[in-house]
Structure formats: C-alpha cells, structure tokens
Amino acid sequence: MGGGLSGLYAAYLLEKKGIDYVLLEARHRIGGRIQSVASNGSKPLLGMKTSVDRFDLGPSWFWPDFQQQLSQLVEELELERFAQFEDGDMMVERSVNEAPIRTRSYVNSPTSMRLLGGMSALTDALYQRLDPKRVLTGHKVRQLRKTEQTIELNIELNSELDFEANNQDDSKETTWSASHVLLAMPPRLVEHNIEFIPALPQDLVKQWRATATWMAPHAKYFAVYDTPFWREQGLSGSANSARGPLTEIHDATAPGGHAALFGFFGIPPHVRQSVTEDELKRHCRAQLVRLFGVQAETPVADFFKDWSQDPFTATTIDAKSDGQHATTPPSKATTGLWQDHLVGIASEWSRQFPGYVAGAIEAASLGVQALTEEITK
C-alpha cells in the first residue's frame, strides 16, 4: 500500500523473487514524497521518459559514502549522479535590519549527491522494471479487515478528474483479499487514514500517531533561470536567512538543464496558508534579489510545493511538527491476528535512516525479507 519509493522498491524485490503482488497508490502518480517537475513546473505523466531538466519538490540529496544500499541501487539502475554545487561564497541574512553579508561557504562532508533528472529518476526507473498491470493508481485503501485466512482491503476508487476536483461523491468502492500487507505509507498517515478491524494494539497505534512524517510540515520554492548568474559572481547559490521567507537556499542547477535556486520556507504551515501563492512567490523573488541581485527578479519560471497541504502526506498534527526526523517506531504488531501479516516499510520505519530516501530502501528490503521468510515457513 503506497506507490512511493518504499512501495516501488518492495514491488521491485517481490517481482525479482517471483512473489505475487499488487501495488495500490491513492494518488494518480507514483513517487509519493519524491516528486520532480519540469523547468516550467509541469508534472510528467506516468511512465514518461525521464528528462534531465527536472527539479525536486521533495528530497534531493543522498550520501553514497554511508548510504551504501541506496548507492548500489542507483548503480544497478544505471542512473547518473552528480555532486551538489557548493563552489564559491554564500550569502547570510542575520536580521530584518541588516543587509545581507557575503561569507565563505561551508562544504558538506561527505558530499551531498543528486540524481540527473531529479530524484524521480529513481522511482521512474523502478516503475519501468515492474509489470504496469500490477501498479494501480487512484486506489485509496480505507479499511483493512483481518479474517482467519486473509486480509480484506476496502478500497475507494477515484478517477483522475474526481481526484483533482476533490470530488468523492462519484467514487466507487471495491474489495480485495491478500495474505500479507506491506504498509508503504508514513506511520502517522496509516493511523489517521485507515481503519483496522480488529483494532491494532493501542500502544502501537500511539507510537505510529506520534511519529512525525518527514516533509509533511515543509514547503519548497524554486526559481528557474536561463543561466546560473550567481556563479559568475563567485557565489555558490547557498544562503541562510533569519529574515525569510526562505531560511535555507541552494543551487538547484543540473548539468545540461536550466539553472535554478531553491529554498525551504521558514514560516510555519498556518502562516503560509494565510497568504496567496502569488504573494508567497513575490516575497521569495524579493528575497533572492536581496541576496543575489536584480537578475534574480525575473525567473523564466517559479513554483513551490507545500507538503502540509498534501492530504496523502500530511495530517493536521503535522502542521505543528518541528520538521525533524523521527525516532523509528515498531513496524508491526507482535501479538494478535495482525502479527506476521502486516508490516510497515515506509522510510520512517527504517532503523538507520528514518525519513531519508535511503531509509525507504532499507525499510522496504527488511519488510520484503520478513515477508519472504513468513510465506516460506
């Protein structure tokens, strides 16, 4: 359940093992919190060929030096990687009353790496290796009912038009049966959106509800340009700001594509919701002008993603989250009917990298391993 990275990687492993499966995704796209858009802000269609000129609305970086399982998968899928641009000075805004200052940029160690074509190149490559008939979008699981023999899934079906219009009046329902379920959704979202019959153990429910969803309270802004003019000024494109609205800014340019700057919003979700999208963009452009000069005033395109407004990522609780990576909760029930039939495999269930891209790979592989051991008993 869930067509983000962990769900796609689990399906990839199951397909290689010859184990029967189906992947159910509520959205009408794959990728989950991994979403890369073209330089004009358009979203690629399912199965569309990956373009170099794409930008990550979700996670962008990984660190091969210590995330070796993810790095090996990138190599296996023959994806191209490149280092985050960090050459040159950075800009710092210390307060509303002080002009920005230029200072020596810090360099991350180990190096932050990105994928050519955005992080969606990874999810696209996995999808292309699956049987497309087994990947079903527009399928929102509402209820899981455990019987003695199977798990019954109550599923709401929405057309893409109904989905975009948030129209649930014309939705249809269907019921499927499965022997095991892998939850490729954040724990808090599982607890919030899915009814379990019989109920899960209360201590497990409380821990899942308390586990913050990575990206859920965050928002990102992108400004796309024809050239990375800041590099000509000896700037890295990096900036830190106590003034905002963006608190952390980086160069988002990819080799062979448009130049771009992106930043994370520092203002909380409820404040962002009180301002129109156009006004938010205007404030962001004004900040980039303060930091990088008048050339930043007229991007060829700009866009932003507020994950706190994505119902398949965030709940109302997430609006109050501090945005930090959560402590790993238990991934399954250890007693009762659900024992050995249900396991969480989203990134938040990773032991080493909860909330990170690498965490989705680790959690999925552990979930598939446990499933394989169970069905071969």
How much is the pLDDT for 319?
80
Confidence class of residue 163 from pLDDT cuts 50, 70 and 90?
A: very low
**What's the whole-number mean pLDDT along residues 237-261?**
95
Please, are residues 119 and 56 in contact by the beta-carbon 8 Å criterion? yes
Q: Return the bridge partners of 89, or none.
A: 104, 235
Gap between the Cα atoms of 143 and 30, Å rounded: 21
How much is the pLDDT for 193?
95
Q: DSSP state, 116?
A: T
191-246 residue pLDDT tens: 999 999 999 999 999 999 999 999 999 999 999 999 999 999 999 999 999 999 99
How much is the pLDDT for 169?
54
Q: Among candidates 4, 23, 32, 28, which has minimal Cα distance to 130? A: 23
60-97 residue pLDDT tens: 999 999 999 999 999 999 999 999 999 999 999 999 99
| Beta strand extents in the chain (DSSP E only) | 23-25, 36-38, 54-56, 81-83, 89-93, 101-104, 113-115, 135-137, 139-146, 151-157, 172-178, 181-183, 195-197, 219-225, 235-241, 246-251, 259-265, 301-306, 342-344
**What's the whole-number mean pLDDT along residues 273-294?**
96
7-17 residue pLDDT tens: 999 999 999 99
Residues of the chain with pLDDT > 70, as a percent, come to: 94
What angle, 0 to 180 degrees and rounded to 10, lies between the N-to-C axes of helices 68-76 and 357-375? 80
How much is the pLDDT for 44?
55
Contacts for 218 with CB less than 8 Å, ≥ 6 apart: 264, 265, 307, 308, 323
How much is the pLDDT for 50?
57
Domains and CATH numbers, the chain: 1-34+119-212+326-377 (3.50.50.60)
Residue type, 323: G
Confidence class of residue 320 from pLDDT cuts 50, 70 and 90?
A: confident
Mean pLDDT of the chain: 92
